[in-house]
Amino acid sequence: MTSVAVQSVTLEDQVRGLLTDRAVVRHTGERLAVEVPVTDLPESCARLQHGLQATLATMVGYDDRARSGGYRLAYVFQAPDNWLSVEAAIDPETAAFPSVTPRLPAAHLYEREVHDMLGLVPEGHPDLRRLVLHDDWPAGVYPLRKDFDPAIPVPRVEGAPHRFHHLHGEGIVEIPVGPIHAGVIEPGHFRFAAVGEVVLHLETRLFYTHRGIEKLAEGKTAAQALALAEHTCGACALSHAVAYCQAVEALAGAEVPGRAAAIRSLLLELERLYNHVGDLGNMCAGVGFAVGASHGAWLKELLQRLNERVAGNRFLRGVGRLGGVRRDIETSQALDIQQTLHQVRGEFERFVELVLETSSVMERFRGTGRVETESARALGAVGVAARASGLTGDLRRDQPYAAYGALMVPEVVQSQGDVQARAQVRIEETRASFALAQQLASDLPDGPISARMPSLPPFAVGLGYTESPRGSNVHWVRTGADGTIDRYRIRSASFCNWPVVALAVPGNMVPDFPLINKSFELCYACLDR
């Protein structure tokens, strides 16, 4: 009897089988990078997405004129078992490339952003209005080009007003809301086209408080840029810090000690808990259910006080460190975590019972703000927004990082895609996070909490990612000749999900918008960066 050796088909084999001979495949650490002629970008991205069941995780444009003589683009995909990027060089004379958006709608905001910030033109893009830069920004000034000096003030100009999409017809009225709001929230403009109280169309105008984090990171050491990373977002500060650290650690080939990895996972679950509990309370506020809003706010406060006792900061800032964490968790603190979570979990179940058994609340939740599965997939929805619409992605389980490889992260999915589904996903994920955090706190491994960081290699790319309370965050870091940061790209969960909000509102009543918006609970700051 003869045995036949069966050779498994590798990701590289699959990629080569999907693309033409013009594609050059190379290994960059744990990822595959596929170099294609710029004319092949749309077809290559579409083939890989459909052939590998991959999702577009981020897209990066950068000014490489000093090294290669041109600009470069990298479309980064998450495949089921790995990450890969489709890359192309852009001629600086034309500064143009064929848009991928008609083939992959999820690329639309990325390409508008690269148009604003680098002056690269995605030819064939269906909507090239300004996205990041507002009306008073002068034409021909591109902040992410290397010859842009952020120390020189940019003169403001009289620009044409933003072109909103207008609906015309009998009985149609436009209702502008914002950008300044009555609540203590960040600015964002929402323009409704409605007949009576029924919304026909919603258009958002964001990016009012851009901070230039990615530009500020240029020339910084990796350690200096960490402070920028964790200030990307207030509510997901640790998620962004850990994603950035993991990108740099991948660049350096650094091995994070087991105890540090476990502490990262534990604190990330505490971050998820206070966000999810607070978000459920905010959803109650969206329907005027004051007792539910108060209960959610109280539970969030208990969890944030725990954060401060354990990590020294209510928002878990100052914890991340390249190669590990800055603060250890003592035995008494681990016990405090277990006891507090036990108490809060009991109160959380009473809160959930209160919400789910209040018929007036559930009537507002049920069927409101629906997003179909295919729409969520096409727009690249992530996190709760995706899982409430039938998509299963969760990086903690699909691409484990920190200590998640040793944990059982349950699959929490709903199919209705409405406010009720997004509430139910949060409820089930909160229950899972209580259990995960209790497990981690009760069994922290011994050992150091950080490792020495080697020097960073020049002109190398690292990718880091976390599953934040709002969905996946992806941080892309490229070094320069001296090992400092040459290009830093932050893709937050909110960047993917804001277009989904605009899709969820039409067909609902105008008073439903606050509830729908709160059911996504997106961040303006980490979109704006």
The first and second tokens of residue 385, run together, are 């927004």
Average of per-residue pLDDT across 26-41: 86
Residues 251 and 280 occupy one common structural domain: yes
For the chain, the average pLDDT equals: 91
In this structure, the answer to whether residues 197 and 219 fall within a common structural domain is: no
* Residue 516 near residue 508 (C-beta atoms within 8 A): yes
Please tell me which residue, 499 or 23, carries the higher pLDDT value: 499
**Angstrom distance (rounded) from CA 442 to CA 81:** 30
* Within-domain flag for 291: yes
Which residues are CB-neighbours of 501 under 8 A, at least 6 positions away? 202, 204, 516, 517, 520, 522
88 and 37 fall within a common domain: yes
Residue 32 — pLDDT band, cuts 50, 70, 90?
confident
pLDDT at 524: 82
Do 110 and 243 sit in the same domain of this protein? Answer: no
Question: Of 290, 228, 255, 304, nearest to 490 (Cα)?
Answer: 228
Pairing, β 324-325 against β 31-35: unpaired
Mean pLDDT computed over 433-444:
95
Structurally, the chain folds into a number of domains equal to: 3
What CATH number does the domain containing 73 carry? 3.30.460.80
Amino acid of residue 86: V
Which regions of 79-227 does DSSP assign to beta strands (E)? 83-90, 96-98, 121-123, 172-177, 189-195, 198-205
Q: Are residues 368 and 288 both part of a single domain?
A: yes
290 within some domain? yes
Tell me the C-alpha distance between 343 and 299, whole Å. 10
142-190 pLDDT, tens digit per residue, is: 999 999 998 888 888 887 777 888 878 888 888 888 788 776 678 888 8
Give CA separation, 267 vs 237, 254, 256, 412, 447, in Å: 11, 21, 16, 21, 17
- Letter string b/e over residues 27-62, b meaning 16 or more CB atoms within 10 A of that residue's CB: ebeebbbbbbebebbbebbebbbeebebbbbbbbbb
Residue 277 to residue 427: CA distance in whole angstroms = 8
Q: Are residues 283 and 364 in the same domain?
A: yes
Q: Give the pLDDT band of residue 11 (cuts 50, 70, 90).
A: confident
Give the residue carrying structure tokens 């990822």: 31
Asked if the structure places residue 147 within a domain, the reply is no
What is the pTM assigned to this prediction? 0.93
pLDDT tens digits, 94-132:
999 999 999 999 999 999 999 999 999 999 999 998 999
Residue 1's pLDDT band, with cuts at 50, 70 and 90, is very low
DSSP of 416-460, one letter per residue? S-SHHHHHHHHHHHHHHHHHHHHHHHH-PPPS-SB-PPPPPPTT-
- Residue 158 belongs to a domain: no
Q: Which of 89, 123, 157 is the last residue of a domain?
A: 123
Task: Count the Cβ atoms, other than its own, within 10 Å of residue 389.
Answer: 27
- Give the three-class secondary structure for 73: strand
**201/219 same-domain check:** no
Is residue 166 in some structural domain?
A: no
The reply to whether 418 and 350 lie within a common domain is: yes
Same domain, 275 and 398: yes
Domain that holds residue 180: 172-205
Residue 6: predicted pLDDT: 39
3-state secondary structure 281-318: HHHHHHCCCHHHHHHHHHHHHHHHHHHHHHHCCCCCCC
Are residues 118 and 257 both part of a single domain?
A: no
Which percentage of the chain shows pLDDT scores above 90?
Answer: 72
Confidence band, pLDDT 50/70/90 cuts, at residue 31: confident
Q: Name the band, by pLDDT with cuts 50, 70 and 90, for residue 456.
A: very high
| Domain end among 91, 123, 155 | 123
Residue 156 lies in a domain: no
Are 199 and 232 found together in one domain?
no
Residue 176's Cα: distance from chain center in Å?
27
136 within some domain: no
List, for residues 182-203, the tens digit of each pLDDT value: 766 788 888 888 998 898 999 8
The span from the CA of 32 to the CA of 87, in Å, is: 11
Residue 113 amino acid letter:
E
Domain boundary among 185, 205, 225: 205
Strand, helix or coil for residue 469? coil
Give the model's pLDDT for residue 69. Answer: 92
> Is residue 516 assigned to a domain?
no
Look up the CATH number of the domain holding residue 260. 1.10.645.10
| 200, 226: one domain | no
